[in-house]
Structure 1
Amino acid sequence: MASEKSATHVAEPSRTTPVVGDFDVIVAGGGPAGVIAAVAAARGGARTLLIERYGFVGGMSTSALVTPISEFRVAGRQHIGGIPLELMQRAAELGGAEIERDSGNWPVNDEIMKLAAQRMLIESGVTLLFHSWFSDVITAAGRVSHIIVQNKAGRVAYACKTVIDCTGDADVVRAAGLPTTKGDVLQPATLWFQLGGVDTGALDYVFGDAVDGILPVSESIRARLAELHVAGEVPLFGGPWINRFFRDGMVSINVLREPTDASDPEWFTRTETSLREKMHALIDVMRREFPEFRNAWLAKSGIQTGVRETHHIVGLYELTQDDVLHPKAFPDTIAKGAHTIDIHQTDSIDQNEFVLLRRPYNVPFRCLVPRGSVNVVTAGRCLSADGPGFGSVRVMATCMAMGQGAGTAAALAIAHDVAIPDIDVGELRATLIEHGAIVDFDNVDPDDHDDNIDRHVDAFAVDR
């Protein structure tokens, strides 16, 4: 007897979800943006809850081993300070970050970052909730009144006045029915890994000495990998970008690349399994082909594959390529960015739209506010930006700076009982400056825009 075709939907019985807590601000997602947002909100006087799916915070910097963290300085000038800088200083004091560099690519030890961020959160008065997935929202009169999470205790709700979506995938925004968008072609994902037993002293520095802890890719290594890729022995790859990891013989590597949609669980599962197989095969190739890696051993791989892009909010403003190349004096500037416009191709070992910046640009608060939002703000890679703009602003240091802006804004909205879009941006900026954030306008040069870019840089001299 043939089985009946499965139904396309099932009806769930109605249920009552217990409310187990009440907070001023709930931050969904404990990555770089979420950590800083939660600290900023708590220090601003808001009772703050941070929800995180893993048993630690740090996001891509810890779960996916994405190091170094970019980009705190450009052309020798600091453009990100405040709470993000404080976190990096704490990690450095624990021996887990190198921050005394002219450039802003700062190596960090993922285990130290977990500890430094956790301490900062607890000391700031943030309530932590680990091993919990954001599940849904309850709305009333256009406001999110409760966040629903799923964990080992079941399905529970937390009341809130303001929500900061730091999920990276705009999960809260989408659950609240606010508009989002997603490109037809997303940047590929990368599984980072760390190797021991590497002859780091013998690595070929074809671009000169190591700069800012990054070992520039060897032309000979890349060329040989490219040959093996054409021959079908090496999968799609980028770089490779090889980074020192705090002791001789240890490196952290960004090389694997695979197109995916991390907001599609079935597809992303296939990506995870595929990349883990490819990682082991590639390490075997590196041992065979390159003397520097002959005795290499796998120390660690990411708990998850690193994700560059999924959903974006439709914000009150969209950061554009022109805003990145020709910095604007936005009246609501709450952060700065300076990372290269860096778009990884999904079907090639090359980069696309690669433009090196010589000075920082400004990120307006409106990029973090979804259209139609009353009490939801975002921080991190789900902000509103076009393709090239996103190709620069997506990196972790800039996401941290956005987190301080979003967390400060959430606390101010509660203190003055106003909607997120109605906060006084002058007061927001003044508060950020008071707490060390760099949000000045003196990087804007209206008379000479073209001196901000360098299109003749080798794409493989810069990480990520």
Structure 2
Amino acid sequence: MSPKKKWIVAAVWLLFAVAIGLPWFMDTASRPSASSAEAAGLTLSKAAIEKYDVIVAGTDPEGIAAALSAARNGLRVLLVDGKGRDRLGGLLTLGWLNSLDLNLAPQQTAEAKRSGNYDFLNKGIFQKWYDQLGGTSFDANAAADLFEQMVRDERNISLLLGVKSMEPKLEGKVVRGLAITDGNGRRRVLQARAVIDATQDGDIAALAGAPYTVGREDLGNPDARMAVTLVFKLSGMTEDIWQSFGRRKDTGVDQSSAWGFLEASNYPSSNPDRVALRGLNIGRQKDGTILVNAMHIFDVDPLDPVSVQEGLRIGRREAPLIVEFLKTTFEEMKDLSYAGTAPELYVRESRHLQGEYRLTMADLMENRDFWDAIAYGSYDVDIQRLGRGDYGAIMMSPRQYGVPFRSLVPKEIDGLLVVGRSASFDSLPHGSARVVPLGMATGEAAGAAARLAIDGGISFRQLAASRSGISKLQTMLRGQGMDLRMREAKQPAYQGHPTYPGLLAAVSMGMTLGGYDNNRWDLDGLSSKDRYLTMMQRLVKMHPRYFRGKPDGVMAGYLKSGEPVTLENAAHALLLTSGVQVKREQAVAELKKRDWITPATWSLISHPGGLTNGETFMLVRDAVARHAGVTYR
């Protein structure tokens, strides 16, 4: 039977289940009879078993990896989703993100780059899934079928869909399972010895009371977060049209992916405050359609269902207009037709857990390894647009950094691990760590960790503090196919620069960016009014208790755009931004009197008439450390 017909049969079963108030339940431990199950690939049960070793909340790829890993380690697992979804795969299969941001090893051969057979970090379950799909982009339906097959093949996994809501069952501050409400409003309590939160937004951890930040809150912008995307579809793709994409000077193409069409960013939005277009990322499907990831929708709160639905409506209204623009702007697309939008939004950012360790920009800047690393990342720190007038940024490109197991363990709450993009990452490094391949690696690690914690009769927090326990976990992960090597690499050149401590602080506070090649910091180049003003503005956002001035007004009177920043002007602006009233000609002496700047930084400044970017970074770094008491390292 074709996959399409399988899903039709499954849908009929789902409607039946909803009609009688039952969730959609697949128990792979008891194999279905040949009649209905062979057709649908699923079975229905009137009641799920109420006790499990592990409950995995969330059916995105990270949750699937966690469930598979736990099941393969002999645990009885329930995989459950509370979003009313009818298929596995979440962002990839319902958000239609079929071209992945890949987590590559530092060195890639020319053949790997040409063929798409890359050397991935971590490997494991992600690698096995990816290899079966093939290509740099994949067919979303094929991905869903493969996820279903992988889950169905594990006898220890039960699958529960059609759930209206789910929340943690707590005993004090320990998560002991989930309380779920089915589509008919019936409430049930499911017990577990461990719970893994693989929801996109860290919903279970939040409901359990684990601390977290939202969006750019850690950077002083609690209402700012990356734009969401609604992927849209075009039909009518042929091989000739596909090959014509590759003949454009601004566009790259391989067998399954295309990227470029940079003029798309000139799209005249019908609602420019809420929606915009960037260059196109395109993935081919097997049915002659393509999926396009390019639309940015602003000011959507992923934690507010009303806001999410509004974002969907905005995107669905705009998508046909975008397609008409593409058809008239690009000759190669004139014969393509609009064919709809994804069922779900692609949400990049919402909650950021506060765990036993929180990944920092310093970790990525220095390509740090950790004694408890259970996965590795390498993707660029890609910060997408925050709103109209902002154009996003590549903060820097790490070679390889470790993700500690402690970043999966929430503070204050036991019995729970959090995997995927809502794990314990600061918002800037999250721009790299949010990618799906890394998230699947954290899920795989969490599933194995559940086995260790249960067998040892210890909490996840105790496991996170145990060097012998983590060593056992790493051995388990290697045994199931994960690659936990830290590849050899030279220290980045910027790390040896005398102003590197200042650069590290400036990057951590979002004051500067390095781009894809880590050179845009321009440490030896002269600073400018615009750069220094940005730094002062960020100081006010990051440390408002200590820097309360208005830098725009402070600097407007004596710094012209393009002129170098003198030591006197820099010191004056820094003091006034901190609320210290002083005459400009007395500012340097006042800084020295207050002892905000270290002797090492004073000694670096050789030309007070024109400070370099690196020197201004050092001034700010010292002032934050000695005045606000915060050191970035």
Q: Return the alpha-carbon distance in structure 2 between the equivalents of residues 285 and 156 of structure 1.
A: 50
Letter in 2 for 1:250: T
Give the corresponding residue for 1:44: 73
Give the corresponding residue for 1:217: 260
TM-align CA RMSD = 2.6
Which of 170, 179, 200 matches 2:211?
Answer: 179
Give the corresponding residue for 2:127: 85
Once the 2 structures are TM-superposed, how far is the Cα of residue 422 of structure 1 from its aligned partner?
Answer: 1.5
Once the 2 structures are TM-superposed, how far is the Cα of residue 66 of structure 1 from its aligned partner?
Answer: 0.7
| Residues 300/88 of structure 1: CA separation in 2 closer, same or farther (3 Å cut) | farther
Q: Which stretch of the first structure deviates more once superposed, 212-221 or 251-260?
A: 212-221
Of Structure 1 and Structure 2, which has the larger fraction of its residues in helix?
2
Give the corresponding residue for 1:288: 328
Q: Return the alpha-carbon distance in structure 2 between the equivalents of residues 344 and 276 of structure 1.
A: 21
Say which SS state the counterpart of residue 346 (structure 1) adopts.
coil
Q: Structure 1, residues 354-398: CA drift from partner, whole Å, max 9, x if none?
A: 045362221111111100232100111111111220011111111
| Residues 188/416 of structure 1: CA separation in 2 closer, same or farther (3 Å cut) | same
Which of 132, 135, 139 matches 1:109?
Answer: 139
Once the 2 structures are TM-superposed, how far is the Cα of residue 415 of structure 1 from its aligned partner?
Answer: 1.8
Which of 311, 335, 348 matches 1:308?
Answer: 348
Q: Return the alpha-carbon distance in structure 1 between the equivalents of residues 283 and 152 of structure 2.
A: 30
Q: Which stretch of the first structure deviates more once superposed, 314-323 or 283-292?
A: 283-292
Once the 2 structures are TM-superposed, how far is the Cα of residue 202 of structure 1 from its aligned partner?
Answer: 2.2
| Residues 148/220 of structure 1: CA separation in 2 closer, same or farther (3 Å cut) | same
Which structure carries more relative contact order (alpha carbon 8 Å, separation 6+)? 1
Say which SS state the counterpart of residue 257 (structure 1) adopts.
strand
Give the corresponding residue for 2:191: 159
Q: Structure 1, residues 222-245: CA drift from partner, whole Å, max 9, x if none?
A: 4x43xx35x978973343223240
Once the 2 structures are TM-superposed, how far is the Cα of residue 136 of structure 1 from its aligned partner?
Answer: 1.9
Aligned ranges 1:120-139 → 2 under 5 Å = 120-124=150-154, 125-139=156-170
| Residues 448/83 of structure 1: CA separation in 2 closer, same or farther (3 Å cut) | same
| Residues 201/233 of structure 1: CA separation in 2 closer, same or farther (3 Å cut) | farther
Of Structure 1 and Structure 2, which has the larger fraction of its residues in strand?
1
| Residues 401/300 of structure 1: CA separation in 2 closer, same or farther (3 Å cut) | farther
Is contact 2:175-2:413 (8 Å) kept?
A: no
Is contact 1:192-1:305 (8 Å) kept?
A: yes
Give the corresponding residue for 2:584: none
Is contact 1:342-1:351 (8 Å) kept?
A: no
Letter in 2 for 1:439: L
Is contact 1:315-1:366 (8 Å) kept?
A: yes
| Residues 388/353 of structure 1: CA separation in 2 closer, same or farther (3 Å cut) | farther
Which of 479, 484, 503 matches 1:434?
Answer: 479
Aligned ranges 1:51-450 → 2 under 5 Å = 51-52=80-81, 53=83, 54-74=85-105, 75-76=107-108, 77-90=119-132, 92=133, 97-98=134-135, 106-124=136-154, 125-153=156-184, 154-183=186-215, 184=222, 185-198=224-237, 199-203=241-245, 204-207=247-250, 209-210=252-253, 213-222=256-265, 224-225=266-267, 228-229=268-269, 236-246=275-285, 250-259=289-298, 260-348=300-388, 351-355=391-395, 357=397, 359-423=399-463, 424-443=469-488, 445=490
Once the 2 structures are TM-superposed, how far is the Cα of residue 220 of structure 1 from its aligned partner?
Answer: 3.8
Q: Return the alpha-carbon distance in structure 1 between the equivalents of residues 125 and 385 of structure 2.
A: 33
Q: Return the alpha-carbon distance in structure 2 between the equivalents of residues 318 and 29 of structure 1.
A: 22
Which of 23, 37, 40 matches 2:52?
Answer: 23
| Residues 186/414 of structure 1: CA separation in 2 closer, same or farther (3 Å cut) | same
Q: Return the alpha-carbon distance in structure 2 between the equivalents of residues 364 and 128 of structure 1.
A: 29
| Residues 248/123 of structure 1: CA separation in 2 closer, same or farther (3 Å cut) | closer
| Residues 161/248 of structure 1: CA separation in 2 closer, same or farther (3 Å cut) | closer
Is contact 2:283-2:291 (8 Å) kept?
A: yes
Say which SS state the counterpart of residue 275 (structure 1) adopts.
helix
Once the 2 structures are TM-superposed, how far is the Cα of residue 71 of structure 1 from its aligned partner?
Answer: 1.1
Is contact 1:51-1:133 (8 Å) kept?
A: no
Q: Return the alpha-carbon distance in structure 2 between the equivalents of residues 188 and 241 of structure 1.
A: 15
| Residues 279/457 of structure 1: CA separation in 2 closer, same or farther (3 Å cut) | farther
Say which SS state the counterpart of residue 73 (structure 1) adopts.
coil
Q: Which stretch of the first structure deviates more once superposed, 19-28 or 273-282?
A: 19-28
Say which SS state the counterpart of residue 455 (structure 1) adopts.
coil
TM normalised by structure 2 equals 0.63
Letter in 1 for 2:480: H
Is contact 1:197-1:296 (8 Å) kept?
A: yes
Letter in 1 for 2:452: L
Say which SS state the counterpart of residue 357 (structure 1) adopts.
coil
TM normalised by structure 1 equals 0.84
Say which SS state the counterpart of residue 79 (structure 2) adopts.
strand
Q: Return the alpha-carbon distance in structure 2 between the equivalents of residues 291 and 235 of structure 1.
A: 28
Letter in 2 for 1:139: L
| Residues 396/193 of structure 1: CA separation in 2 closer, same or farther (3 Å cut) | same
Residue 78 of structure 2 corresponds to residue 33 of structure 1: no
| Residues 134/419 of structure 1: CA separation in 2 closer, same or farther (3 Å cut) | farther
Q: Return the alpha-carbon distance in structure 1 between the equivalents of residues 152 and 388 of structure 2.
A: 44
Q: Return the alpha-carbon distance in structure 1 between the equivalents of residues 179 and 147 of structure 2.
A: 25
Once the 2 structures are TM-superposed, how far is the Cα of residue 299 of structure 1 from its aligned partner?
Answer: 3.3
Q: Which stretch of the first structure deviates more once superposed, 210-219 or 291-300?
A: 210-219
Letter in 1 for 2:485: D
Q: Return the alpha-carbon distance in structure 2 between the equivalents of residues 262 and 249 of structure 1.
A: 32
Q: Which stretch of the first structure deviates more once superposed, 153-162 or 291-300?
A: 291-300
Once the 2 structures are TM-superposed, how far is the Cα of residue 353 of structure 1 from its aligned partner?
Answer: 3.3
| Residues 291/232 of structure 1: CA separation in 2 closer, same or farther (3 Å cut) | farther
Letter in 2 for 1:373: I
Q: Return the alpha-carbon distance in structure 2 between the equivalents of residues 373 and 40 of structure 1.
A: 23
Letter in 2 for 1:415: D
Is contact 1:205-1:216 (8 Å) kept?
A: no
Structure 2 residue ranges without an equivalent (≥5): 1-46, 109-118, 216-221, 464-468, 497-512, 519-633
Once the 2 structures are TM-superposed, how far is the Cα of residue 457 of structure 1 from its aligned partner?
Answer: 6.1
| Residues 389/72 of structure 1: CA separation in 2 closer, same or farther (3 Å cut) | closer
Structure showing greater radius of gyration is 2
Q: Return the alpha-carbon distance in structure 1 between the equivalents of residues 295 and 381 of structure 2.
A: 20
Is contact 2:129-2:146 (8 Å) kept?
A: yes
Say which SS state the counterpart of residue 176 (structure 2) adopts.
strand
Once the 2 structures are TM-superposed, how far is the Cα of residue 248 of structure 1 from its aligned partner?
Answer: 9.3
